[in-house]
Amino acid sequence: MQIGKAGRAVTSISTADASSITVRGRDLTSDLMGNLSFTEYFFLLTTGRAPTEQQTYFLDLLLVSIAEHGLVPTNQVARMTYAADPGNLQGAVAAGILGCGTVVLGTTEVCGEFLNGAQNRIEAEGITMSDIVIEARDSGKRLPGFGHPIHKPVDPRTQRILSLAEEKGIAGTYVGLARAAEKAVGEVWGKPLTMNVSMAIPAVLLDLDFPHSVLKAIPILARTGSLLAHLAEEVETPIGFTLAHYAEQGIKYEPQDK
């Protein structure tokens, strides 16, 4: 019994025979290997298009900006998983990736949806970003892409990304919306709220014509590199069980009231 709607039984990503491998219509060994960086190859794989110079530059920039951020939950869980099963590197990486949700890393996709929805409403309803921010405040909603537990009042990664986008002339509709949201949030809430890197990433990607389906892939790919670095260090400097120990020490047992 088939579950779900059937699509056409085809793939446009790759094929192979005894003597060749074809990726996105190009020969892997003679055309791609030695000619593309991994960043360019990732763009080609996910979109089917060769990236422009600007797309490659900013994709590299964004991957570097969010690959590593210390002992964040994704890295902690990966290291503890690896400590428990040192022969299962892929399982430890998978454990870390599973933490890429709507609070950590996955917010890039949520911010992309916010920017896209804001642009649609501005065009259709003739409102401003300030109106959207006021509406969110009055309804008690939290705006995605604002606030950070460490970086206050600014996230240095955000400002570097947006400044380079403006400097290199690729800042368009979505970077403009991000800047407008940053200004409106400060005015509406009456205090500076950090616009974090999860807002800057989709703003630049959407202005560079990255498909929406790729937005969440960027932090996942970047953080995979970080996870592998932490797991390599875990082999030499094991702290996975130490992390687990401090978790036990930091949480007080409290009997449930009957």
CB 134 within 8 A of CB 190: no
Q: For the domain 25-101+215-241, what is the CATH code? A: 1.10.580.10
Q: What is the CATH number of domain 107-211?
A: 1.10.230.10
Q: Please give the structure tokens belonging to residue 233.
A: 């260090």
Asked if residue 66 lies in contact with residue 157, where contact means CB atoms within 8 angstroms, the answer is: yes
Per-residue pLDDT averaged across 12-26, rounded?
A: 97
What is the C-alpha separation between 75 and 169, in angstroms, rounded? 35
pLDDT in tens, 205-214: 999 999 988 8
Query: What pLDDT score does 258 carry?
Result: 72
For a pLDDT cut of 90, what percent of the chain falls above it? 80
- Report strand pairing: 21-23 vs 14-16: antiparallel
Question: What's the pLDDT at 197?
Answer: 94
pLDDT score of 48: 95
Q: Where are the alpha helices (DSSP H) in the chain?
A: 38-47, 53-66, 73-84, 89-97, 107-125, 129-138, 156-167, 173-189, 197-207, 217-236, 240-250
Which of 38, 48, 37, 83 has the alpha carbon at shortest distance from 224? 38
pLDDT digits (tens, 9 = 90+) for 227-258: 999 999 999 999 999 999 998 899 998 898 87
pLDDT at 103 over 80: no
Whether the pLDDT of residue 105 is over 80: the answer is: no
Provide the mean pLDDT of the chain.
93
Reported as a single tens digit per residue, the pLDDT across 149-203 is 888 999 999 999 999 999 999 999 999 999 999 999 999 988 888 999 999 999 9
In our burial notation (b when 16+ CB lie closer than 10 A, e otherwise), range 29-60 reads eeebeeebeebbbbbbebbeeebeeebbbbbe
Give residue 5's pLDDT. 82
Instruction: Note the pLDDT of residue 230.
Output: 97
Measured CA to CA, the distance from residue 70 to residue 177 in angstroms comes to: 30
The token pair that represents 225 in the structure block: 């590199």
Q: Is 140 helix (H, G, I), strand (E, B) or coil?
A: coil
Question: Which pLDDT does position 28 carry in this prediction?
Answer: 98
Contact assessment for residue 200 and residue 54, using Cβ atoms and an 8 Å cutoff: no
- Name the pTM for this structure: 0.91
CA distance 148 to 187: 18
Q: What proportion of the chain, given as a percentage, has pLDDT over 70?
A: 100
Query: Domain residues of the chain, as ranges?
Result: 25-101+215-241, 107-211
Q: Per DSSP, what are the bridge partners of residue 238?
A: none
Residue in the block written with tokens 């791609």:
32
Pairwise CA distance, residues 89 & 79, whole Å: 10
Residue 214 pLDDT: 87
Position 3 scores a pLDDT of: 81
More confidently predicted of 102 and 39: 39
Compute CA distances 242 → 77, 153, 234, 238, whole Å.
12, 32, 11, 8
pLDDT on residue 225? 96
pLDDT value, residue 8: 87
Q: Which two tokens stand for residue 148?
A: 């950070």
